[in-house]
Structure 1
């Protein structure tokens, strides 16, 4: 038996089944590198995912891509069936909603830039909350005086809001109309101090 025969990849149908089993059993989304590490040598993960995604299209469960990760998710039009099991009350202050929106649309963005857009200072509690939710994270430092850190959204943010990439976010005009973006203070106006987020609760942000 030749070496080439020993390392021959399984048929594509079998590769598809393997990927399906791995994703079904995983408690979190997986990227192609993680999938390839669990499959036999020579498997075509990308093709297996494409076939699997096509096979699940139109069913009650879909194979969805979020960033570089893949996971099975309930079809969006059937989510109402799961509400009693999965709804979790999580209220965010208006400050947190605005900060999250600014990071999503202006990333990578520094704290100073967030404050300039909002017109008020950003409390540490607001940033800590969004990081605890795994919706924002620290990005690269800016190559400017002081080398301030930047903030970006996370794969968890994309997964929570059902987005494949940040490009799938709602139109900027909608957020500007709501007053969440580009609310820059007039020149010479000092940045106001933000009220404690714990006392400024808004509607649930899903």
Structure 2
């Protein structure tokens, strides 16, 4: 047997070079509309790959570019640089407004998550319409969280990754403070008209329509 036969052979499962792994991560993020987690990247890449390290390198390469690799919750995606967002305004084809009730409910969930329906109603001072919650669920801006370990084990609500992505947030901790919202004119100091009347949302459709539609979470 020759020395060549005794020489160690490269493993068939040896991972690609890091430069190639970086290209793979780039291709996956570019082709996927929704943010992708590190685990999902690893599942698609060859055995032994290190998508987390490839992401670090890829982020550095796109720093200062018009398109950047950004974190959305626990996932990653290509997004237009924040300072160039104004260039994309003409690409928005759908303008979807929420009622004041939906805005208030969404804001409470975002700032107090995880929160139950009863807690939302206690904060707002009015019953929460099932239609309001259903609308937010259908928009994929909120989802069901863990059940509370209290009598009845009520379900909680939390905001989704789609909500964070829509508003360019890495996590709910990046939400602006209430003072910032008021300073920007996105939140006023008036109490909710529903809370003032003690009516529930289903009995106050006319009042909601009279107040107009809030633009706090407008596309």
TM interval, short-chain normalised = 0.7 to 0.9
Among 38, 41, 47, the alignment partner of 2:47 is: 41
Q: Distance in 2 between matches of 1:142 and 1:176?
A: 32
Aligned equivalent of 1:196: 205
Alignment CA distance shift 1:124-1:8 (3 Å):
same
Structure number with bigger Rg: 2
Q: Distance in 1 between matches of 2:139 and 2:9?
A: 49
Please tell me the root mean square deviation across aligned C-alpha atoms, in Å.
2.6
Alignment CA distance shift 1:3-1:134 (3 Å):
farther
Aligned equivalent of 1:95: 101
Aligned equivalent of 1:146: 152
Q: Distance in 2 between matches of 1:8 and 1:2?
A: 13
Q: CA deviation at 1:51?
A: 0.8
Asked if residue 69 in structure 1 is aligned to residue 82 in structure 2, the reply is no
Alpha carbons 1:116, 1:191 under 8 Å: kept: no
Aligned equivalent of 1:29: 35
Unaligned runs of 5+ in 2: 1-6
Among 107, 115, 118, the alignment partner of 2:113 is: 107
Asked if residue 205 in structure 1 is aligned to residue 211 in structure 2, the reply is no
Alignment CA distance shift 1:3-1:130 (3 Å):
farther
Q: CA deviation at 1:39?
A: 0.8
Among 108, 111, 127, the alignment partner of 2:133 is: 127
Aligned equivalent of 1:158: 164
Q: Distance in 2 between matches of 1:83 and 1:175?
A: 22
Question: TM-score normalized by structure 1?
Answer: 0.87
Q: CA deviation at 1:45?
A: 0.8
Tell me the alpha carbon deviations over residues 120-160 of structure 1, each in whole angstroms, 9 at most, x when there is no partner.
11111111111111010111111212221111111111111
Alpha carbons 1:108, 1:150 under 8 Å: kept: yes
Unaligned runs of 5+ in 1: none
Q: Distance in 2 between matches of 1:95 and 1:34?
A: 36
Alpha carbons 1:119, 1:192 under 8 Å: kept: no
Q: Distance in 1 between matches of 2:147 and 2:182?
A: 27
Q: CA deviation at 1:100?
A: 0.5
Aligned equivalent of 2:11: 5
Aligned equivalent of 1:20: 26
Alpha carbons 1:100, 1:130 under 8 Å: kept: yes
Aligned length, in residue pairs: 201
Q: For residue 8 of structure 1, give the secondary structure of its aligned residue in structure 2.
A: coil
Question: TM-score normalized by structure 2?
Answer: 0.82
